[in-house]
């Protein structure tokens, strides 16, 4: 038995080394760096809370970037999840070609993270791009997508919503596992489709809603490719999301201490929201029987 | 039909009920047909919205530069392969082939390292008891949720001190230490669902745990391992920020960086080159996906996934 114990840890060796070297030590180091002034030339110099006071009292770029990030996350995540659930719900009816549709809807998720798609987005939403060509041919006015601070962020939201496929596949798997007899019983009792959806479907899939919510939120807060390639953070910093600000501070201006402080603010926001979601999940997530996974 | 109407002449009361029931039935069938039609219309509409940008991209890559911003259709009026020919040459001393080679030089060792390390670690978690197991497995979940943004700067400094900047090592090594917690998690879930009988039998026959892993567990894990390799392939192919931070010389650029470079250098006028290279960039991922989509969907449904 003791030999077996040692063996188990033996198989974990790569993970434990990786955990220490590539995650835990860097994690601590970035907290330390966030209290220093470090430009790679000389050793880090301890400056206490200076980076943070600078961030919260003087740095208008940071305030702008934080606001834009929160707007982005709180529009993109609900839109994407609602859309994914809606399509999964339709696909869950016994339809022909379901495999074809599932594939067609999933392809954008496979490609969406690629730079090529971000490039494509630039062309589609350019002032004379595909979207405006279609809009004008339908008699609408062309929209100034990248020039107008009101619209630019929305193009990135649309890109990420276009990638709803993976959330949809997870929703669909959950919907397919719901016991059909529940619906039959409800129908006999005279419940409408809408009632069934709200009182049977939604409660039973709360675990996957919760899972998708957390994953998509953590991911949305780290959006980098979209603003970097599609809008370059502009116009007027209206798409200058925090990860891009961190990148610029760290790898363009080499202000590692300040960049670490921004990263920690971002991390704390994500952590607080994740913990809030976990804490509130006790009230709204329903785990059937022992299926707590 | 006549039978029923004849019968209704005879039993009037019953016939009223019957006619009503038939009308209700017809209404139900009609409603069902309408809602089915609505569903198909929505699905086709959404499918078109999903795929049209990609179809347009492929079509536009064969258009002349003048046509790209003038024709919303996807069929080129004067098809040309100029975009591909010139785009492949690039504005650097290297062809796009070099950048594809670099991409695969990053991907292949990374995928192999991921598969081996994650299998070992998942086997350890799923089949052994040891102190701190709960805590260590908790750390897998924690890493899964930990935003990379918070560890990226110290990791960069670490690789700089090791002298690994501008090499592929920073992209390979963390994965070889089972750094992608998502895959560990997925394999553990998969292994827990497989009963240990076969391994027990092998152990009774005198196989040690390593032999059991290689000859019994790995073959059973094969479908999940294929999913792991495919996802890692796809994510690495798409990865942009990693190479952007670590790779600085053009001769080591993977396709994602090369594409960004070509935007910066030629975008003002040579649009079809960029679109053509965009098509080539997504082609490997598309081919792999269509050859093995079953594994993607299963991997997703089994472990849940980001993406």
Buried b (16+ CB within 10 A) or exposed e, B12-26: eeebeeeeeeeeeee
pLDDT digits (tens, 9 = 90+) for B156-214: 999 999 999 999 999 999 999 998 998 999 899 888 888 888 888 888 888 888 888 88
Higher pLDDT, B77 or A159: A159
Co-location of B51 and B163 in the same domain: no
Domain assignment present for residue B24? The answer is yes
Residues B215, B216, B220, B225: is their CA dihedral positive or negative? negative
pLDDT at residue A274, rounded to an integer = 92
CB–CB of A141/B87 below 8 Å?
no
Residue A263 token pair: 């990263």
Domain assignment present for residue B75? The answer is no
Co-location of B108 and B251 in the same domain: yes
In angstroms, the separation between the Cα of residue B12 and the nearest Cα of chain A is 29
Contacts of A109 in chain B (CB under 8 A): 307
Residue B24: helix, strand or coil by DSSP? helix
Instruction: Give A283: exposed, middle or buried? Use CB within 10 Å, 0-12, 13-18, 19+.
Output: exposed
Residue A144 token pair: 């100034």
Domain assignment present for residue B119? The answer is yes
Q: d(Cα A176, Cα B125) in Å, to the nearest integer?
A: 30
Range of the domain at B49: 2-60
Q: At how many degrees (to 10) do helices B96-127 and B169-176 cross?
A: 20
Q: d(Cα B23, Cα B10) in Å, to the nearest integer?
A: 20
Co-location of B98 and B240 in the same domain: yes
**What are residue A173's phi and psi, to 5 degrees?**
-60, -40
CB–CB of B110/B235 below 8 Å?
no
Query: CB of B222 within 8 Å of any CB in chain A?
Result: no
Co-location of B172 and B121 in the same domain: yes
Residue A99: helix, strand or coil by DSSP? helix
Residue B140 has pLDDT above 80, yes or no: yes
Q: How many domains does chain B contain in total?
A: 2
Co-location of B103 and B55 in the same domain: no
Question: Alpha-carbon Rg of chain B, whole angstroms?
Answer: 29
Query: CB of A30 within 8 Å of any CB in chain B?
Result: yes
DSSP letter, residue A36: E
Query: CB of A14 within 8 Å of any CB in chain B?
Result: yes
CB contacts under 8 A, A 174-233 vs B, are 208, 211-212, 214-215, 218-219, 221-222, 224-225, 228-229
Which one of A17, A119, A246 has the shortest CB-CB distance to B149? A246
Domain assignment present for residue B66? The answer is no
Q: d(Cα B151, Cα B164) in Å, to the nearest integer?
A: 17
Co-location of B109 and B221 in the same domain: yes
In angstroms, the separation between the Cα of residue B295 and the nearest Cα of chain A is 12
Domain assignment present for residue B112? The answer is yes
Residue A268 token pair: 């704390």
Residue of B nearest to A14 (CA): B177
**What are residue A37's phi and psi, to 5 degrees?**
-110, 115
Lowest-pLDDT range, A189-193, A198-202, B260-264, B296-300? B296-300
Per-residue pLDDT of chain A (293 residues; tens, 9 = 90+): 445 677 888 899 999 999 999 999 999 999 999 999 998 888 899 999 999 999 999 999 999 999 999 999 999 999 999 999 999 998 888 777 888 888 888 889 888 788 999 989 988 998 888 888 888 888 888 888 988 888 999 999 999 999 998 899 889 888 988 888 888 888 888 888 888 888 888 888 888 899 899 989 999 999 999 999 998 887 888 999 999 999 999 999 999 999 999 999 999 999 999 999 989 888 888 876 544 44
Q: d(Cα A24, Cα A17) in Å, to the nearest integer?
A: 10
Check: pTM over 0.80? Answer yes or no: yes
Beta-ladder partners of A45? A37
Co-location of B152 and B279 in the same domain: yes
pLDDT at residue B8, rounded to an integer = 47
Q: d(Cα B158, Cα A128) in Å, to the nearest integer?
A: 46
Residue A235: helix, strand or coil by DSSP? coil
Report the CATH number at residue B92: 1.10.3720.10
Beta-ladder partners of A36? A46
Query: CB of A173 within 8 Å of any CB in chain B?
Result: yes
Residue with tokens 């007027």: A236
The reply to whether residue A128 touches residue B70, judged by beta carbons under 8 angstroms, is yes
Chain-centre distance of CA A80, in angstroms?
A: 10
Distances (CA, A) of B19 to A209, B7, B24: 46, 11, 9
ipTM: 0.89
Higher pLDDT, B267 or A221: A221
Instruction: Give A61: exposed, middle or buried? Use CB within 10 Å, 0-12, 13-18, 19+.
Output: middle
Query: CB of A170 within 8 Å of any CB in chain B?
Result: yes
Residue B223 token pair: 């479908």
Residue B135 has pLDDT above 70, yes or no: yes
pLDDT at residue B91, rounded to an integer = 81
Which site among A77, A80, A130, A176 would you substitute to test the B interface, given the most B Cβ atoms closer than 10 Å to its Cβ?
A: A130
Structural domains in chain A, sorted by start = 59-284 (1.10.3720.10)
For residues B125-141, give the mean pLDDT.
90
The reply to whether residue A119 touches residue B259, judged by beta carbons under 8 angstroms, is yes
Co-location of B29 and B132 in the same domain: no
- State which of B60, B75, B108 marks the end of a domain: B60
Which site among A87, A95, A114 would you substitute to test the B interface, given the most B Cβ atoms closer than 10 Å to its Cβ?
A: A114
Domain assignment present for residue B82? The answer is no
Domain assignment present for residue B76? The answer is no
Residue B241 has pLDDT above 90, yes or no: yes
pLDDT at residue A233, rounded to an integer = 85
pLDDT bin (cut points 50, 70, 90) of residue B305 is: very low
Q: d(Cα A33, Cα B61) in Å, to the nearest integer?
A: 46
Q: d(Cα B142, Cα A270) in Å, to the nearest integer?
A: 13
User: What percentage of chain A's residues is helix, strand, coil (to nearest 5)?
Assistant: 75, 0, 25
Co-location of B92 and B38 in the same domain: no
Which site among A116, A173, A261 would you substitute to test the B interface, given the most B Cβ atoms closer than 10 Å to its Cβ?
A: A116
Co-location of B54 and B93 in the same domain: no
Q: Which residues, other chains included, contact B50 with Cβ-Cβ below 8 Å and sequence gap of 6+?
A: A104, A105, A107, A108, A162
- State which of B12, B45, B60 marks the end of a domain: B60
Q: What angle do CA B222, B227, B229 make, to 5 degrees?
A: 90
Co-location of B299 and B223 in the same domain: yes
In angstroms, the separation between the Cα of residue B10 and the nearest Cα of chain A is 32
Co-location of B53 and B16 in the same domain: yes
Domain assignment present for residue B79? The answer is no
pLDDT at residue A292, rounded to an integer = 42
Query: A36-37 and A45-46: which strand pairing?
Result: antiparallel
CB–CB of B42/B33 below 8 Å?
no
């Amino acid at each position: 038995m003791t030999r077996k114990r040692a063996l188990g840890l033996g198989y974990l060796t790569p993970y434990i080394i990786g955990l220490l070297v590539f995650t835990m030590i860097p994690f601590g180091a970035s907290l330390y760096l966030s209290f220093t002034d470090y430009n790679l030339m000389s050793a880090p110099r301890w400056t206490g809370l200076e980076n943070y006071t600078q961030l919260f009292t003087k740095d208008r770029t940071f305030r702008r970037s934080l606001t834009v990030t929160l707007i982005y996350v709180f529009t993109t995540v609900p839109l994407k999840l609602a859309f994914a659930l809606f399509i999964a719900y339709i696909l869950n009816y016994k339809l022909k070609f379901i495999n074809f549709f599932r594939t067609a809807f999933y392809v954008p998720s496979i490609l969406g993270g690629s730079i090529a798609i971000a490039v494509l987005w630039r062309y589609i939403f350019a002032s004379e791009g595909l979207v405006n060509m279609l809009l004008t041919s339908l008699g609408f006015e062309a929209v100034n997508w990248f020039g107008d601070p009101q619209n630019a962020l929305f193009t990135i939201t649309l890109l990420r919503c276009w990638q709803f496929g993976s959330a949809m596949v997870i929703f669909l798997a959950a919907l397919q596992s719901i016991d059909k007899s529940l619906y039959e019983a409800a129908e006999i009792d005279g419940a409408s489709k809408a009632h069934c959806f709200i009182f049977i479907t939604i409660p039973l899939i709360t675990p996957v809603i919760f899972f998708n919510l957390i994953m998509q939120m953590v991911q949305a807060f780290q959006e980098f490719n979209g603003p970097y390639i599609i809008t370059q953070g502009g116009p007027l910093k209206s798409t200058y999301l925090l990860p891009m600000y961190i990148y610029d501070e760290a790898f363009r201006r080499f202000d590692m201490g300040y960049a670490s402080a921004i990263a920690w603010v971002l991390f704390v926001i994500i952590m607080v929201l994740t913990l809030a979601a976990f804490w509130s999940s006790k009230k709204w997530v329903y785990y059937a029987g022992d299926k707590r996974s | 039909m006549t039978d029923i109407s004849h019968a209704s002449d005879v039993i009037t009361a019953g016939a009223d009920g019957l006619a009503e029931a038939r009308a209700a039935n017809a209404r139900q069938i009609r409603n069902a047909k309408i809602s089915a039609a609505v569903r198909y219309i929505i699905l086709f509409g959404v499918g078109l919205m999903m795929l049209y940008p990609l179809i347009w991209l492929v079509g536009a890559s064969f258009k002349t530069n003048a046509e790209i911003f003038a024709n919303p259709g996807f069929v080129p009026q004067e098809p040309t392969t100029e975009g591909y020919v010139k785009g492949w040459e690039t504005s650097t001393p290297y062809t796009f082939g070099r950048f594809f080679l670099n991409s695969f030089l990053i991907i292949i060792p990374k995928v192999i390292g991921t598969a081996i390390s994650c299998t070992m670690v998942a086997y350890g978690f799923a089949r052994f008891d040891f102190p701190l197991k709960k805590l260590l497995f908790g750390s897998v979940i924690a890493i899964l949720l930990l935003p990379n943004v918070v560890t990226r700067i110290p990791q960069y400094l670490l690789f700089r001190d090791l002298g690994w900047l501008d090499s592929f090592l920073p992209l390979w090594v963390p994965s070889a230490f089972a750094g992608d917690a998502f895959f560990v998690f997925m394999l553990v879930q998969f292994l827990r669902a497989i009963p240990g009988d076969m391994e027990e039998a092998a152990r009774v026959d005198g196989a040690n745990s390593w032999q059991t892993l290689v000859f019994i567990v790995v073959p059973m894990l094969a479908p999940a391992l294929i999913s792991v390799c495919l996802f890692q392939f796809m994510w690495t192919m798409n990865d942009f920020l990693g190479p952007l931070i670590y790779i600085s010389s053009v001769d080591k650029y993977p396709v994602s960086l090369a594409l960004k470079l070509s935007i910066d250098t030629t975008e003002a006028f040579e649009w079809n080159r960029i679109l053509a290279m965009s098509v080539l960039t997504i082609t490997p991922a598309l081919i792999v996906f269509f050859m093995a989509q079953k594994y993607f969907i299963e991997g997703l449904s089994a472990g849940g996934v980001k993406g």
